[in-house]
Structure 1
Amino acid sequence: MEFNIKQIQETNAFACLECGKCTGVCPVARHSKTFSPRSILIKSIRNSHPDALKGSDLWSCLTCQQCDTICPSHIRYIDFMQLIRQFVGVTNQDATCSHGGIVDSILKIMTTPNLQQQRMDWITKDYQTTASGDYLYFVGCLPYYDVLFSSLEVHPLNIARSTIKILNYLDIQPQVLPNEKCCGHDFYWNGDLKNFKILAEQNLEQIRNSGAKQVITACPECYRTLKVEYAKFFGKTGFEVQHISEFLAVRLKDKHIPLKTEKLSACYHDPCRLGRHLGIYDAPRGVLSKLSGLTLNEMAHHHQRAICCGVTGWMNCSQISKQIQTHRLREAQATGSDILITSCPKCQIHFQCALLDKQLKEEIHFTIKDLVEVVAENLN
């Protein structure tokens, strides 16, 4: 692949002042003595170092967008990093997939055009769906994560069940695609455009054939990919995309849901894709405000300053990731909350994984749940 100077220029990378503010706010740099977004950018655009495009640092960036929010030159660093990864290639020997590469392998299997999956067994008679209609629930990779991470005491399919339960409560029976593929988020951010486009084209065909006018998802990564990347590469999709928190913030506007317990204190973790990437901070908090008796406590870093969960794209799960997660979980513990709520399946998985550390688990006295799980549990 050619190093596309024009595309790099469009990220404003050449305007870098070398002020180092990006490195100052980077969650990875906070725990690593060698990682520096500024150094990676300068070495890459100047090609002044023989190892500029080598090493694990290219894959350690979380693309969390902390750097973008503070850059005085308005550099779109995460877009720059995505382009550099395209150039280097995800097959580079320095790119190490986490969990033995099993998630990456499953995603690549999903690019098979005529692959028939068995991913609907979780939809029992308790959950009402339809074969046609205006609403489509895009499940994402939850059926696979439920199997892969069951040992972590986390059950991602509970998010899917909760989503349908809430939609049914609102008199909506959504479509669920029996052969839906991964949205392609991880391929895109890891620089593998070929496989990203394969998955995107297959999903677009299925969604368009369904006739659905609105796609709802409980995954911020699916949300961003369906809404932003699909439109970027394929033009108008023909359907609206919403994260479930946005959808519920409107639909529950005039409703109040009494808690099944007398009171509950919670803190909310802003996922990077939902927050900094797409600017959605108020909707999840608005939904939580409809739970009568729930008190929301903000962590030290929240909204735009929220700290990433430490892993993205299943490419950089390291000791640094665990340190980032530990820092975030301790922030949540400091609020004295009963529950840490997030609205991203991966965030929940990564935080729960961090609690495998016995010493850390002894410190933490709250449960971790998704936004839709908390809402669904309190519906009559």
Structure 2
Amino acid sequence: MDFADVNGHADADSGRNVAGETLTYEGNEDGSTVSNSWSDTMWIEDLGLSKVTVDVGCTFRTSVRNAGSHTQQLTIKNEAGATLWSTSEGECGSTSLKLASAASYSLEYTVTSSDVDSTVTMFTAFSAQAFQPLLFDGNGAAAHRTDLSADADFETLAMANPTFHKNPKSLDAKLTYSMFIPCLGVGALVFLLMRNMARGYEWEMNKCYGCDLCDDACPVRLFTAGDKLNIIYNTWNNEDDGVPLYSCLTCTACTNACPQLVDYDSYMDIRRNLIVGGPPAAEIPHTILQAVLAAEAAEDADEAFISIEDYPIDSSVGYYPGCVDYIDQEMIFSHVNEGSMNLGETTTAAFTLFDEMDKEVTYLGRDFLKCCGHDQKWQGLTEVFEKLKAYNQKKLNESGIETLVTSCAECFRTFALDYELEDMKVMHTTEFLIENGFKPDLEVAEDVTVTFHDPCRLGRQMNIYEEPRDLIRAVGGVDLVEMEHTGEDALCCGVSSMMSCNENSRALRLQRFDEVKATGAEIMLTSCPKCVSHFECLKFEGDPRHDFEILDVVSFLARQVEAKRQ
């Protein structure tokens, strides 16, 4: 199937195989309710398939995160006016449907916004797209419809997906095992659950038609060679082609590269959750840190944390430091006390900047909140993550905090996407500084060349690229030079979720270091203390070629503020 529309089946002007619009509107000056409705029609062609897959959905966001109250309602109807699907609970969503070909369908979309004034812009879109067979020309290349003759027989140009598989072998053992569970009722339920999961895999994985773009984008495979699709191949064959399940960095590079929109990160999350007991011990280099953070999830550990009633919360803005102090100690300990690391400086630096802005921010320390659970989630330790999430989520929702700020890209992504925080705005520190007008007159004592490393969680997963760069460029005397791989194409720091710190990840970090040296930068800046720790970990080894400084953007800015005050 042509999920990337390389054939040009979708034509928005005529409504052929696609419908929808991308829209913006602003609130009223007095903050009163704004309501808008739109509609569009789509005709699904018959190119030899009686039914085709149709993706339907809508998206919505505001220029100011969590501003106002909003509802969205998207409905798709057939020619008879019958509703085939509709969003629920007044929120945007999406789904995939199987709809009949040679028929028209209508989309009706309504949005309502209140408690937002004219300074807030709403961005929204709704769409439906039908996916038709992938067409090839005589040379075996994808053929665009504008290049085909008017009388071309599309059915003869289509071909079956050569990589299609019916049932992932990685689930065969589980499916078979479920049939032998003594209790027939439980066995049947387990079988149905596993088979349903298998069908989900089949749908997602059979989007793949073997273009190898994910291989080209994968930073791990740069150092493991091999010519098979790592994730896809492993799934169908339950084999390891040199990229073990836990070596995947979930850096989103392959997801961004995939023309078929396969969500590899979510898929990897599901796969790891099927492994009982979590990753092999050999994949966890920092076992003491792992044990300490996992122990926090236990209910009997709750008494070690200060209650809401006893904690001094005196602002609607809260700052969460993450596990920086724990990582500082673990890194020094694991390197037999060689080298030094002070990620805790990021927290001090953040409050230096808040003070410079005259912003009241409450410190939500690790004596109040537990670990956010990012590493546990991506290691496949769902039970541990859910316990940490439940504790933190309850406390945050009862705290009165309206804006939660953190400098850790992993914490930011976890709170923003994996938690359900009621009416709470979650922001990365760089985003918070920009939104609140941080524009101090800063200048370095001597001109300096810097480069910026995009953290995967902040960039590809949360789409924050420019905020850190804007803050860097605002400092006088600083020349920001980009590395070879930057923005969406940035290389990962080489370690994710404190797993698989091995020769492959080391090689990846060395390549990143070489890119830094090629820019002539004296300082490599980033916006995640975890990235700083992974790069500093390599520098503990004392490679003389890599003599540049590694620093968080927040710490870099605070350094200039302190110099200005002297």
Q: Same fold (TM over 0.5)?
A: yes
Task: Specify which structure has the higher proportion of helix.
Answer: 1
| Superposition deviation, residue 13 in structure 1 | 2.3
Which digits, 9 at most, give the CA deviation of each residue in 1:34-90, with x for residues without a partner? 596x2332331x3x34x46x9970000000111011111111111111111011235
Equivalent residue in structure 2 for 1:147, among 315, 322, 329:
329
Equivalent residue in structure 1 for 2:398, among 194, 201, 209:
209
Using a 3 Å threshold, how does the CA distance of structure 1 residues 362 and 249 change in structure 2: closer, same or farther? same
- AA partner of residue 387 (structure 2): I
Q: Is the 8 A contact 1:29 1:35 kept in 2?
A: no
Partner secondary structure for residue 201 of structure 1 = helix
**Which whole-Å CA distance do the structure 2 matches of 1:287 and 1:313 have between them?**
28
Q: Which range moved further: 320-329 or 14-23?
A: 14-23
Which residue does 1:218 correspond to in 2? 407
**Which whole-Å CA distance do the structure 2 matches of 1:33 and 1:367 have between them?**
32
Using a 3 Å threshold, how does the CA distance of structure 1 residues 142 and 8 change in structure 2: closer, same or farther? same
Equivalent residue in structure 1 for 2:354, among 154, 167, 171:
167
Q: Which range moved further: 327-336 or 148-157?
A: 148-157
Using a 3 Å threshold, how does the CA distance of structure 1 residues 237 and 326 change in structure 2: closer, same or farther? same
Using a 3 Å threshold, how does the CA distance of structure 1 residues 283 and 104 change in structure 2: closer, same or farther? same
Which residue does 2:288 correspond to in 1? 102
Q: Is the 8 A contact 2:346 2:552 kept in 1?
A: yes
Which residue does 1:281 correspond to in 2? 465
Which residue does 1:371 correspond to in 2? 553
Using a 3 Å threshold, how does the CA distance of structure 1 residues 172 and 40 change in structure 2: closer, same or farther? same
Partner secondary structure for residue 449 of structure 2 = strand
Q: Is the 8 A contact 2:224 2:243 kept in 1?
A: no
Q: Is the 8 A contact 2:449 2:478 kept in 1?
A: yes
Which residue does 1:245 correspond to in 2? 430
Is structure 2 residue 386 aligned with structure 1 residue 197?
Answer: yes
- AA partner of residue 533 (structure 2): I
| Superposition deviation, residue 187 in structure 1 | 1.2
**Which whole-Å CA distance do the structure 2 matches of 1:327 and 1:269 have between them?**
13
**Which whole-Å CA distance do the structure 2 matches of 1:295 and 1:29 have between them?**
33
- AA partner of residue 181 (structure 1): K
Is structure 2 residue 258 aligned with structure 1 residue 71?
Answer: yes
Which residue does 1:297 correspond to in 2? 481
Equivalent residue in structure 1 for 2:221, among 29, 36, 50:
29
Partner secondary structure for residue 525 of structure 2 = strand
Partner secondary structure for residue 194 of structure 1 = helix
Which digits, 9 at most, give the CA deviation of each residue in 1:84-131, with x for residues without a partner? 1011235354762112x1222112111023425589xxxxxxxxx952
- AA partner of residue 104 (structure 1): Q
Which digits, 9 at most, give the CA deviation of each residue in 1:254-286, with x for residues without a partner? 443222x12221000000000111111000001
| Superposition deviation, residue 154 in structure 1 | 1.7
TM-score (normalizing by structure 1): 0.88
Equivalent residue in structure 2 for 1:327, among 487, 503, 511:
511
**Which whole-Å CA distance do the structure 1 matches of 2:312 and 2:254 have between them?**
43
Which digits, 9 at most, give the CA deviation of each residue in 1:298-352, with x for residues without a partner? 0011001100000001111001111000000110011111100011111111111
Give 5+ residue unaligned stretches, structure 1: 120-128
User: Number of residue pairs matched?
Assistant: 357
Which residue does 2:442 correspond to in 1? 257
Which digits, 9 at most, give the CA deviation of each residue in 1:190-238, with x for residues without a partner? 111111111011111221222010000000100010000113xxxx533
Is the radius of gyration larger for structure 1 or structure 2? 2
Give 5+ residue unaligned stretches, structure 2: 1-189
Q: Is the 8 A contact 1:183 1:199 kept in 2?
A: yes
- AA partner of residue 436 (structure 2): R
- AA partner of residue 108 (structure 1): A
**Which whole-Å CA distance do the structure 2 matches of 1:296 and 1:290 have between them?**
10
RMSD, aligned α-carbons: 2.3
**Which whole-Å CA distance do the structure 2 matches of 1:208 and 1:118 have between them?**
16
Q: Which structure 2 residues correspond to residues 37-52 of structure 1 after superposition, within 5 A?
A: 38-44=229-235, 46=236, 48-49=237-238, 51=239
**Which whole-Å CA distance do the structure 1 matches of 2:559 and 2:304 have between them?**
29
**Which whole-Å CA distance do the structure 2 matches of 1:262 and 1:94 have between them?**
47
Partner secondary structure for residue 293 of structure 1 = strand
Q: Is the 8 A contact 1:166 1:376 kept in 2?
A: yes
- AA partner of residue 17 (structure 1): Y
**Which whole-Å CA distance do the structure 2 matches of 1:163 and 1:20 have between them?**
42
Using a 3 Å threshold, how does the CA distance of structure 1 residues 168 and 243 change in structure 2: closer, same or farther? same
Q: Is the 8 A contact 1:130 1:174 kept in 2?
A: no
Which residue does 1:16 correspond to in 2? 208
Partner secondary structure for residue 263 of structure 1 = strand
Which residue does 1:84 correspond to in 2? 271
Which residue does 2:453 correspond to in 1? 269
Give identity over the alignment, percent: 29
**Which whole-Å CA distance do the structure 2 matches of 1:328 and 1:161 have between them?**
28
